[in-house]
Amino acid sequence: MIRFDKLWSVMKEKQVSTYQLREQCGIDSKTVRRLKANDNIETKTLNKLCAALDCRLEDIAEYRPD
């Protein structure tokens, strides 16, 4: 399972709120809910997150076997 637990730490460190992701980066509230639930998201969303947070994919997501 892909988990996004690291995302919230990176956002806190960079002082980026979910509001900023929605308003400035074009990530809708439905996608934020999916991230919080570790649901599937599109790769273009991962790209937006990495660009907005100036980070690498492994900084915000990780694979954990079920």
Predicted confidence (pLDDT) at residue 46 exceeds the cutoff of 90: yes
Helix (H, G, I), strand (E, B) or coil at 62: strand
For residue 12, the enclosing domain spans 2-54
Report yes or no on 61 lying in a domain.
no
pLDDT average, residue stretch 17-38? 93
Q: Strand 2-3 to strand 62-63: parallel, antiparallel, or no bridges (unpaired)?
A: antiparallel
Q: Can you give the pTM of this predicted structure?
A: 0.89
Predicted confidence (pLDDT) at residue 66 exceeds the cutoff of 90: no
- Contact, 28 vs 22, CB < 8 A? yes
Report yes or no on 45 lying in a domain.
yes
CA angle 47, 45, 57 (to 5 degrees): 45
Query: Residue 18 has what pLDDT?
Result: 94
Going by pLDDT thresholds of 50, 70 and 90, the confidence category of residue 25 is confident
pLDDT average, residue stretch 11-24? 93
Report yes or no on 50 lying in a domain.
yes
User: What distance in Å separates the CA atoms of residue 17 and residue 22, rounded to the nearest whole number?
Assistant: 9
Helix (H) or strand (E) holding 61: none
Domain count, the chain: 1
